[in-house]
Amino acid sequence: MPGVPSRRLSMPRLLLFSTASTVLFFVIAEMIARAFAPADCTSPARFARYLEAIDSHGPVDLKTSLERSLPMPYDPYLIWHPVLNYRGPNLGVEVVHNSQGLRSPEIPLAPPPGTARVLLTGDSTIYGHGVPGESTVRAGLEAELARRFPGRTIQVINGGVPGYSSLQALNQLRRITGRYHPDIVVVANIWSDCALDTFEDKAVIYGTGVAEPLNRAAQWVDERLSPRSALYCAARHLVYRLRHRECQGMPPLCGPDEAKLGKTPANVVAQPGTKRPPAGRPRVRLEDYRANLQALEARSRKLGAVTVFMMLANGVELGEYDDPDGTMGDYPAYREVMRAVAREAGAPLLELTPLFRQAREAGSGPLFLDRVHPNATGHRLMAAALAERLADTPETRAALQRADR
């Protein structure tokens, strides 16, 4: 009507009103989400509660050619994750996991003042398959360092997980083990990288083709928003719940070949009573192995830690076992990559094969339980050699002796 002023909002006011309404909506939604679940869904305990709520199938049973088994729930970035606070048998010995799912004593994430920490990354060799907890390289290294550095508190954390490749160890460092604020990170991943299998870790975690960069971008966002927003956690878990259903309750089996293989692709996770087809390719390609080792060193440096590369020995090269099917893969090539990465980074490198050979020649007796897993004697040898290297290398000795970061 003429003479009646218009009540329509101007464009700037409309934009301001829309922005304020959107922000208010997300603030209220975040408050509601926090009332039901805390933020930081990247923590193993938080993710475990989510898994228990959606997984009617229970923990995935991790089976290997040695017919050992440990309960391993699905994890989108780690493929599998050890059960938290687990206590049970493994190859005739009892294993105990802490609240983060690691075979280590329960310690706070933040180190007390004056405490130095050494983190070990690796697969079942570092985890200590078939070896009592007090005889593992973790326990032996901690005792050796206490003897060499009297009056200092040095804690050793066992980040080894059965079957973990360098990619899994990298994501584990980003999400879990890096929270322990290590002063030294010992990288010992190799066997689960070069071993021939029926899947590739990168494809299972990130997909292939255009999906890979999108999934990596999603992980970047995930790492930054998950610890801060309960609303984001809820949305994230909804996505994984849908994927979980899509994969018929077996998320670790969902990979790029699932359509070809009828949604039951052969993987390191096999259901009881099923037979795995012959392995055919390394789980981590050689060029990806190099990139993962470089990323592990860079991530450790970002945490303020010194990186040490430890090249493992095996029972085949020592003549204790054979590898008739060749499933160990081209491990000499992977060793060359580790040497090159250590040299380029200026990082200490400990090669264990010569030391193991010397021990055998000196009459030590068998050092392995199978092709790649050292027995208790082998673990003691690893611990002593690593302690000596850490004590004698200036960078690592300084890292162990400094009172605070």
Q: pLDDT tens, 230-253?
A: 777 777 666 665 554 444 333 344
Q: List Cα–Cα distances, 345 to 183, 293, 397, 405, in angstroms.
A: 17, 10, 18, 21
User: Rounded CA gap, 141 and 153, in Å?
Assistant: 13
* Cβ contact 133:259 at 8 Å: no
Give me the pLDDT at residue 264, please: 30
**pTM confidence score:** 0.80
DSSP per-residue string spanning 91-114? TTEEEE--TTS-SS----SSPPTT
Dihedral over alpha carbons 48, 262, 166, 381 (to 10 degrees) = 90
The string of pLDDT tens digits covering residues 326-337 is: 888 899 999 999
* Cβ contact 253:247 at 8 Å: yes
Q: Kindly tell me if the per-residue pLDDT of 271 is higher than 80.
A: no
- Residue 277 binned pLDDT confidence (cut-offs 50, 70, 90): very low
Q: Kindly tell me if the per-residue pLDDT of 365 is higher than 60.
A: yes
Q: Kindly tell me if the per-residue pLDDT of 402 is higher than 90.
A: no
* Mean pLDDT, range 292-315, rounded to an integer: 97
Residues 6+ positions from 77 with CB-CB distance below 8 Å: 171, 175, 205, 219
- Rounded to 5°, angle at Cα 314 from 135 and 310: 70
Q: List Cα–Cα distances, 340 to 165, 291, 337, in angstroms.
A: 18, 12, 5
**Largest interatomic CA distance in the chain:** 108
SS3 state of residue 89: strand
Beta strand spans in 205-288 (E): 281-282
Give me the pLDDT at residue 272, please: 31
Q: Kindly tell me if the per-residue pLDDT of 49 is higher than 80.
A: no
Average pLDDT for the chain: 81
Give me the pLDDT at residue 83, please: 82
User: Rounded CA gap, 8 and 254, in Å?
Assistant: 53
Q: Kindly tell me if the per-residue pLDDT of 295 is higher than 60.
A: yes
Q: Kindly tell me if the per-residue pLDDT of 319 is higher than 70.
A: yes
Which of 36-40, 208-212, 342-346 ranks highest by mean pLDDT? 342-346
Please tell me the least confidently modeled range out of 56-65, 177-186, 189-198, 217-226: 56-65
Please tell me the least confidently modeled range out of 15-24, 30-39, 75-84: 30-39
Q: Is 241 exposed, middle or buried (0-12, 13-18, 19+ CB in 10 A)?
A: middle
Domains of the chain: 44-400 (3.40.50.1110)
User: Rounded CA gap, 385 and 356, in Å?
Assistant: 10
Q: Kindly tell me if the per-residue pLDDT of 299 is higher than 90.
A: yes
SS3 state of residue 128: coil
Give me the pLDDT at residue 42, please: 55
Give me the pLDDT at residue 54, please: 37
- Residue 9 binned pLDDT confidence (cut-offs 50, 70, 90): low
DSSP single-letter state for residue 70: E
User: Rounded CA gap, 91 and 402, in Å?
Assistant: 39
SS3 state of residue 47: helix
Q: Is 23 exposed, middle or buried (0-12, 13-18, 19+ CB in 10 A)?
A: exposed
Give me the pLDDT at residue 41, please: 61
The string of pLDDT tens digits covering residues 137-193 is: 999 999 999 999 999 999 999 999 999 999 999 999 998 999 999 999 999 999 999
Taking alpha carbons only, the member of 348, 351, 222 closest to residue 297 is 348
User: Rounded CA gap, 31 and 26, in Å?
Assistant: 8
- Residue 194 binned pLDDT confidence (cut-offs 50, 70, 90): very high
Give me the pLDDT at residue 82, please: 83
- Using only C-alpha atoms, the chain has a radius of gyration, in whole angstroms, of 24
The residue count for the chain = 405
* Cβ contact 266:64 at 8 Å: no
Q: Which residue has the higher pLDDT, 38 or 257?
A: 38
Give me the pLDDT at residue 215, please: 78
User: Rounded CA gap, 112 and 178, in Å?
Assistant: 16
Give me the pLDDT at residue 128, please: 95
In single-letter form, the type of residue at position 222 comes to D
Number of CB atoms found within 10 A of residue 405's CB: 12
Give me the pLDDT at residue 37, please: 62
* Mean pLDDT, range 367-394, rounded to an integer: 97
Give me the pLDDT at residue 104, please: 96
The pLDDT > 90 percentage for the chain reads 52
Give me the pLDDT at residue 38, please: 56
Give me the pLDDT at residue 240, please: 61
Element (H, E) at 88: strand 87-90
Q: Which residue has 């690592």 as its token pair?
A: 396
